Amino acid sequence: MKTIKARRSSFRRSALGALVLAACTAASASAATIRGATDAAALWVSAPGAVPAPTTVEMRNSHRTFIPPFVIIAEGSSVRFPNDDPFYHSIYSASKADPFDIGYYGPGPGKSVAFPNPGIDQVHCHIHASMHAVIVVADGPFAQSSGGRYEIDGVPAGTFVLHAWDPTHGERSMTVVVPAANATVTKDVRAR
Ligand SMILES: [Cu+2]
């Protein structure tokens, strides 16, 4: 009896070891980084197997503007539009990826919209024609640039389309090769 028990528990231990090893392999398979200098505001890689977990972010309505005026989110994420103004807003998007029209809402927490499809959504207000925002919905790891540089983490090994967006130039895309799961790839992304 004792021998059988011991065998069983040693089998369990080795099975656990294999599981831990598998988990580590899965983590390191998405650990590559793409970074560089850029004049773009938001950058992302189309990698359906490595889309970051969905989140909820805020885009406030304040003094007839959106704050911030653009966000980049993972597909499946939501954006809430709190209304800080003492009057109504009624925002919508006619963009192909994730069209919406949430109707009138007064001061307060506002309404939340889900963005299940990747793409670039232009957001406007029915009441205030000057209001405009952009929501970039990424189908893979993404980053917002800061000080003319960007860094996208969590990229698997492989060949991908790297997208860049900014309000002046719109969307651009190019191919990027990530040679290994632990690689750091330098790719400068500039409009010209
Ligand atoms: Cu408005």
- Contacts (Cβ under 8 Å, ≥6 apart) of 129: none
DSSP conformation class of 54: P
The predicted-structure confidence for 39-84, as pLDDT tens digits, reads as follows 999 999 999 999 999 999 999 999 999 999 999 999 999 999 999 9
178 φψ region: left (φ > 0), alpha (ψ -120 to 50), beta (else):
beta
CATH of domain 32-186: 2.60.40.420
The predicted-structure confidence for 95-126, as pLDDT tens digits, reads as follows 999 999 999 999 999 999 999 999 999 999 99
- Cα of 39 vs centre of ligand 1, distance in Å, is 30
End-to-end CA distance of the chain: 75
- Cα of 107 vs centre of ligand 1, distance in Å, is 11
Residue 45 belongs to what H/E stretch?
strand 42-45
Place of tokens 């021998």: 3
- Pairwise pLDDT comparison (64 vs 10), residue with the higher score: 64
- Cα of 79 vs centre of ligand 1, distance in Å, is 16
> Rounded to whole angstroms, how far apart are CA atoms 161 and 174?
6
- Cα of 1 vs centre of ligand 1, distance in Å, is 76
Query: Which residue ranges make up each domain of the chain?
Result: 1-30, 32-186
The predicted-structure confidence for 140-154, as pLDDT tens digits, reads as follows 999 999 999 999 999
